[in-house]
Amino acid sequence: MMLRAAQGPHLAPDDDAAPPATDRQSRGTLAETLRRQLADDILDGRLLPGVRLDETELAARFGVSRTPVREAFKLLAATGLVQVRPNKGVIVTAITPERLTEMFEVMGEIEAACARFAARRMTEAERATLVALHAEAGTLAESGDREAYDSLNTRFHSAIYAGAHNDFMAETAQAIRQRLRPFRRAQFRLDGRLSRSWLEHDAVVRAILLADGEAAYHAMRVHVTAVGGASADYVGRTAN
């Protein structure tokens, strides 16, 4: 669902009472859509570091109540794109390529370990699911559908986390992935990145199907390093 900027202020009243489940679901969807749009604005340089995000102004701009805006701020803060500062409000954070490189180094080790365990522990059904996801991703990469590929990419990696059969490791990987989510998504705007991502995945899948834990570890480490480099490259370009 895409939000369009409203032509004029259109604020819906906030209700302190607990909303029905359908309302909470709708607000959650709005918050996620707002998060993605604001993340894009930050990563593309339309919202610069140090800029204060005004809750009321954004609610008017997008024709929503302040509740999903506040929820979007929480999601952005969880990924480090904004900071909530006392007496100053919500401020866009400065993310440097060097900081991203550090974060992806940690992500690479965790995901590589997941791949190693998945190669050794995945069931036949889990391997079949991974192969199917990979094949579908290939079609999306060829068509250049960045949004659909990004969504399927998350499912692909989640399948590997689950296939590691280590709940703590999977939870850790998911938490770090959530933190890096906006940057992993932004990398796909670079020319040729979709096809390169799929080829990197292909090496991971082949190693897992061979039950070669060390090869799977290496292939995933190479992949996440490439993701980190592409993400830092994109952020560096938009910052200049």
Can you say whether residue 30 is alpha, beta or left, with left for phi > 0 and alpha for psi between -120 and 50 degrees?
A: alpha
Banded pLDDT at 28 (limits 50, 70, 90): low
pLDDT band at 13 (very low <50, low <70, confident <90, very high): very low
Q: What is the pLDDT of residue 159?
A: 98
Model confidence band, residue 2 (pLDDT cutoffs 50, 70, 90)? very low
Alpha helices, H only, 122-212: 124-143, 146-163, 167-186, 193-209
Query: Mean pLDDT across the chain, nearest whole number?
Result: 86
pTM of the predicted model as reported, rounded to 2 decimal places: 0.72
Q: What one-letter code names the amino acid at 4?
A: R
pLDDT tens-digit profile of 57-75? 999 999 999 999 999 999 9
- Whole-angstrom distance, CA of residue 234 vs CA of residue 189: 8
- Closest residue by Cα to residue 3 from 60, 71, 67: 60
Distance CA 82, CA 87 (A): 15
| Per-residue pLDDT band at 91 (split at 50, 70, 90) | very high
**Left if phi > 0, otherwise alpha if psi is -120 to 50, otherwise beta: which for 227?**
alpha
CATH topology match: 21-92 vs 97-239: no
Give the model's pLDDT for residue 99.
81
d(CA 82, CA 94): 8
Structure tokens at 78: 């969880």
Q: Quote the pLDDT of residue 186.
A: 85
**Cα–Cα separations (whole angstroms), residue 95 to 46, 100, 184:** 14, 7, 14
**Domain 21-92 part of CATH 3.20.20.210:** no
pLDDT of residue 238: 65
- pLDDT confidence band for 183 (50 / 70 / 90): confident
| pLDDT bucket at 45, cuts 50 / 70 / 90 | confident
Query: What backbone torsions phi and psi does residue 149 show, to the nearest 5 degrees?
Result: -65, -40
Q: Which of 176, 30, 56, 195 is closest to 114 using CA atoms?
A: 176
Comparing 78-92, 120-134, 138-152, which segment has the lowest mean pLDDT?
78-92
What is the pairing mode between strands 52-53 and 82-85?
unpaired
- What is the rounded CA–CA span in Å between residue 195 and residue 141? 6
- CA count, 13 A, side-chain hemisphere, 121: 15
DSSP type of residue 192: T
Domain boundaries, the chain: 21-92, 97-239
Q: Which CATH superfamily is domain 97-239 in?
A: GntR ligand-binding domain-like (1.20.120.530)
What pLDDT band is residue 123 in, cutting at 50, 70 and 90? very high
Amino acid at 10: H
What CA–CA distance (Å, rounded) separates 35 from 181? 11
